[in-house]
């Protein structure tokens, strides 16, 4: 029968061979109860859906973000919710990328997009910020726009409506249900993407449009 020391050696061995974090999966939003369930927090909602699917907690505060490690399929990722407010999101992303030695190409950012209907999803491998201050901050802090984005449609601004007021408004009942379904779909698509199944991820979100 193995003694207690053999057991400790076995546990230590299993921990040392655990897969290292190879992707950052970042959801953008604003911290605080006053911003919960607002359009600008669609990225936070998607991270919560991913964490729930993976059985992970995103509750540890590190480098201006709430973080938690998770296994998505065969890939170990760090789930990140910057706590810097949207306009300074890049500070937390750059700190995590530096600590885990993650290049921009393996950073995946989930964010709201006012160009699309509520629940619409679209991947982009790189590009400009497109007027999104969170993406602008990340590009500036990483020194690169070559990170993956999964854009989450939150509806288009009604005519005459101030943009800042619109993105900080809450979803209606039907919109909230649509966004919830989109967040669940995003969790599946992100899992496929970080495991090298980009075409499957694209087909998944295309099939549900």
* Residues tagged active-site: 40
Residue 83 · residue 61 · CB < 8 Å: yes
| Cβ(136)–Cβ(181) below 8 Å | no
User: 77 φ, ψ to 5°?
Assistant: -130, 160
**DSSP state letter for 125:** S
Cα 195 versus chain centre, distance: 15
CA 33 to chain centre: 19
Q: Are 127 and 145 in contact (CB under 8 A)?
A: yes
Find residue 25's DSSP bridge partners. 79, 108
- Structure tokens given for 152: 């989450």
Q: Are 138 and 152 within 8 A, CB to CB?
A: no
> H helices within 71-150, ranges in order?
89-100, 133-142
Question: Measured between alpha carbons, how far is residue 54 from residues 64, 75, 137, 203 in Å?
Answer: 23, 11, 28, 22
Residue given tokens 């991913």 in the structure block: 50
């Amino acid at each position: 029968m193995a003694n207690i020391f053999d057991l400790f050696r076995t546990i230590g061995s299993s921990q040392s061979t655990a897969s290292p974090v190879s992707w950052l999966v970042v959801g953008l939003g604003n911290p605080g109860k006053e911003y919960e369930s607002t359009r600008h927090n669609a990225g936070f909602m998607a991270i919560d859906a991913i964490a729930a699917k993976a059985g992970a907690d995103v509750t540890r505060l590190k480098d201006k973000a709430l973080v938690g490690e998770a296994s998505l399929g065969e890939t170990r990722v760090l789930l990140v919710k910057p706590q810097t407010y949207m306009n300074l999101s890049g500070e937390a992303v750059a700190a995590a990328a530096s600590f885990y030695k993650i290049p921009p190409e393996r950073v995946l950012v989930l964010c709201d997009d006012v160009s699309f209907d509520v629940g619409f999803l679209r991947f982009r491998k790189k590009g400009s910020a497109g007027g999104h201050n969170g993406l602008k901050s990340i590009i500036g802090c990483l020194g690169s726009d070559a990170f993956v984005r999964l854009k989450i449609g939150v509806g288009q601004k009604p005519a005459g409506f101030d943009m800042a007021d619109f993105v900080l408004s809450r979803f209606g009942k039907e919109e909230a249900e649509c966004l919830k379904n989109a967040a669940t779909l995003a969790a599946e698509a992100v899992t496929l993407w970080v495991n090298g199944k980009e075409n499957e991820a694209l087909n998944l979100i295309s099939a549900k449009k």
